[in-house]
Structure formats: C-alpha cells, structure tokens
C-alpha cells in the first residue's frame, strides 16, 4: 500500500509514495461480502443497483447471490447514452421505486455509469448515498476517484455535473477479467500517464512489460493512491489537479476531431497520441531529455501501434486545441513532463508546436 505526499509549489511539485488511502476507498478481494457489510451496517431504506447490459451480465453475479429480490435499473451502455434522457429514465425509476432520502444507489459499471449514476444519486431529492463499483480499468484508475460526476449535454462532454464523493468506492480487479482487451488497453493509457507524471520507478516497472504480464492489482492501487491524493489536495482543479490532464490537451483535440469526422478512436488511444505529441514539445523545450522521450515513444507505440493521422487530421486537430476547457485568455495551456516522474502545468504551447508534434507522430 502506498500513500502520497504532494508538495504543490506553483506549477511544480514533488510526490513521495508511502502509506494510506481515503476512508471511502476500499480494495476488496470479496466485493460481495464487503458491499453487503456496508448495506447492513447503514440500514438503508432501499438499495437500487444501476447497471448496463454488460455489467448486468458479467459483474452483477459477482456481487449479489440473490438477484431476484434486487431493485435493478438497467440502461444501455455507451457514451452516447450519458445524457439527460437517460438521467430522466433513471430518476423516473427511482421515483417509481419510491426511494426516499435514506435509500442508496450502487453503481456497477465503467466511467459512463459512474459519472451518470453518481450524478443521478447526488441530485435525487437533493442527494442520496451512492457506492461506485468501477468495473473497467479506466473507471478503477481514474473515473471513480476524485468526485467528478456528470453527463454530456448537446455536443459538450461532461458539461452538466457536480462534485460529490461516493460513500464508498469498492475496487475489485477481478472485474477486469471480462473486460474486452481494447477497453483494457484504453484504460491503461491513464496508468501510463500516472506513472510518467509521478513515479519514475513505476514507469521503469511497466515499461519493461507487455500488457499480459502486468500485475493489475498493484497498478490499480498505485494509480488510485496517486489520483486520490492529487484530488484531495486540489478537489476543484485550481492547481495540482491539472497535472492529470497530461496527454489530454492534444489527445483530446485529436479524439474530438476524429469523432466529428466519423472515425472514432478510443479515449486511451487518443491519450497515447497526446502523450507522445506533448512529450515531443517537452523535449523540444528542453524539459524532457531526448533519450527519455524516445523511451516513452517506443513503449507507447509498442502498446498502441500507430494510429493513422492524415494531414487534414493534423491541421484540424491542432486548431481545435484552442478550444480546450483548460485554456485561459486564448492561450493554450498544457501539462508538460519535466523529466520522467514530474510535470508542470499551465505551460503555454502554440498551435504551430502542436502541428509540428503531430507531424512528428505521423512520421514515426
């Protein structure tokens, strides 16, 4: 078990791994027992479980022996359902079930369900307790930690939402066994990011291994401890929390452009591109040693392969970065690695630098 001590000094920081986790995060080898313990202890008036068709099939049986007496709300999987329509269906079901303020919602799913289910619970009758049981790698290492909840609105991602902590985040890596490989690899980009911005030792550890050889339990724990510390130090993203956006300024611009162009790639694939492109800029600025940059690039390409980017894609994506939520006064603000294991946020970069970095990626 690790704990972190962050020393946030402007846009620079040092992190030290040691022991401890927030009280509402639990790693469990027996999620069914641990969940029922909580439900019994707290005497909830009713328990409702939110699933999608995949987590109903693969994950629910690992949590409840008797499914017959359970109140289950099932919604369709996929980002396209993370919207107000689905929330209305969830709130309607909660109302039909006559849930009062002493009820609890257990959300069993990936980041889509965690964000949306948590949001529905946090707003129903001004908020009831909820448990997050993240079942994808991305949800375990990222989405279920830090209290951000919400939904997409019109064409804006995570546009409507609240900050609220679950009563418990229950982590069980056994759920990952049924996760499609593409989803596992996608979530892994956040693990790579966490290692690169905080822990050179863990980076060394993962970068010598292939996906099949990784010890998920250790890696999930490592990422969770890191994200929990960063987000508890800076819950509303005023400073330190911004480092979690490493790889995301350029990655998100490419992801959004390709989505609009009808060539959707997975989030983690986009972040893989972003980590290389932003690494290129960091190396050009002299923040990241060339040798380290090449090591990062070759590992990421080994895991994700190379995603085809046409010249139009490069030009249009570079332009899109100007609209990034994290920018201020029309300046593109980015997280840049300051050597492996350290990062600086609010570093200004230009559209030309982004274009150049993506051209570099194209030619790899």
Rounded to whole angstroms, the Cα distance separating 26 from 41 reads: 16
Closest approach of ligand NAD to the CB of residue 117, in Å: 10
If we measure between CA atoms, which residue out of 26, 19, 21, 1 comes closest to residue 173? Answer: 26
Binding mask 93-122 for ligand NAD (x = CB under 6 A): ----------------xxxxx-x-------
Q: Which residue is listed with tokens 């380290």?
A: 292
The answer to whether residue 175 forms part of the interface with ligand NAD (CB under 6 A) is: yes
The answer to whether residue 77 forms part of the interface with ligand NAD (CB under 6 A) is: yes
Q: Select the residue interacting with ligand NAD from 11, 47, 54, 338 (CB under 6 A).
A: 54
Per the structure block, which two tokens stand in for 130?
Answer: 């909820």
Per the structure block, which two tokens stand in for 291?
Answer: 């040798």
The answer to whether residue 158 forms part of the interface with ligand NAD (CB under 6 A) is: yes
- Report the residue number whose CB is nearest to ligand NAD: 111
Task: Compare residues 73 and 283 and give the one whose CB is closer to ligand NAD.
Answer: 73
The answer to whether residue 76 forms part of the interface with ligand NAD (CB under 6 A) is: no
End-to-end CA distance of the chain, in Å?
A: 38
Per the structure block, which two tokens stand in for 96?
Answer: 């039909």
Q: Is 313 helix (H, G, I), strand (E, B) or coil?
A: helix
The answer to whether residue 142 forms part of the interface with ligand NAD (CB under 6 A) is: yes
Q: Which stretch binds ligand NAD (CB under 6 A): 22-30, 39-47, 175-183, 356-364?
A: 175-183
Q: Select the residue interacting with ligand NAD from 12, 92, 95, 178 (CB under 6 A).
A: 178
Name the strand (E) or helix (H) holding 274: helix 267-284
Q: Which stretch binds ligand NAD (CB under 6 A): 54-62, 208-216, 257-265, 353-361?
A: 54-62
> Do strands 148-153 and 156-163 pair parallel, antiparallel, or not at all (unpaired)?
antiparallel
The answer to whether residue 183 forms part of the interface with ligand NAD (CB under 6 A) is: yes
Task: Compare residues 143 and 220 and give the one whose CB is closer to ligand NAD.
Answer: 143
Name the strand (E) or helix (H) holding 60: none
Q: Are 120 and 105 in contact (CB under 8 A)?
A: yes
């Amino acid at each position: 078990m690790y704990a972190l001590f962050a020393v946030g000094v402007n846009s620079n920081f040092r992190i030290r791994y040691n022991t401890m986790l927030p009280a509402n995060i639990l790693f469990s080898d027996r999620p069914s027992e641990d969940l029922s313990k909580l439900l019994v202890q707290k005497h909830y008036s009713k328990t409702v479980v939110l699933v999608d068709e995949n987590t109903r099939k693969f994950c629910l049986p690992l949590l409840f022996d008797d499914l017959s007496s359970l109140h289950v709300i099932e919604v369709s999987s996929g980002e396209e359902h993370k919207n107000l329509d689905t929330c209305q269906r969830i709130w309607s079901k909660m109302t039909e079930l006559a849930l009062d303020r002493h009820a609890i919602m257990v959300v069993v799913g990936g980041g889509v369900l965690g964000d949306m289910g948590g949001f529905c619970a946090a707003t129903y009758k001004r908020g009831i307790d909820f448990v997050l049981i993240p079942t994808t790698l991305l949800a375990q290492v990222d989405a279920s930690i830090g209290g951000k909840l919400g939904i997409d609105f019109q064409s804006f991602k995570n546009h409507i939402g609240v900050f609220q902590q679950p009563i418990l985040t229950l982590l069980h890596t056994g759920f990952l066994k049924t996760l499609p490989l593409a989803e596992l690899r996608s979530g892994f980009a956040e693990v790579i990011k966490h290692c690169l911005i905080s822990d050179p030792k863990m980076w060394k550890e993962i970068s010598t291994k292939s996906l099949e050889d990784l010890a998920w339990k250790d890696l999930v724990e490592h990422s969770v401890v890191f994200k929990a510390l960063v987000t508890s130090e800076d819950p509303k993203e005023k400073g330190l929390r911004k480092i979690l956006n490493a790889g995301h300024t350029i990655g998100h611009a490419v992801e959004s452009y390709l989505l609009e162009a009808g060539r959707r790639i997975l989030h983690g694939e986009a972040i893989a591109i972003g980590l290389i492109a932003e690494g290129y800029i960091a190396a050009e600025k002299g923040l990241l040693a060339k040798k380290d940059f090449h090591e990062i690039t070759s590992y990421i390409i080994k895991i994700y392969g190379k995603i085809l980017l046409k010249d139009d894609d490069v030009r249009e994506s570079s332009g899109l970065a100007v609209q990034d939520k994290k920018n201020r006064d029309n300046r593109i603000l980015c997280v840049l690695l300051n050597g492996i294991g350290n990062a600086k946020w609010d570093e200004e970069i230009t559209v030309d630098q982004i274009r150049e970095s993506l051209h570099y990626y194209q030619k790899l």
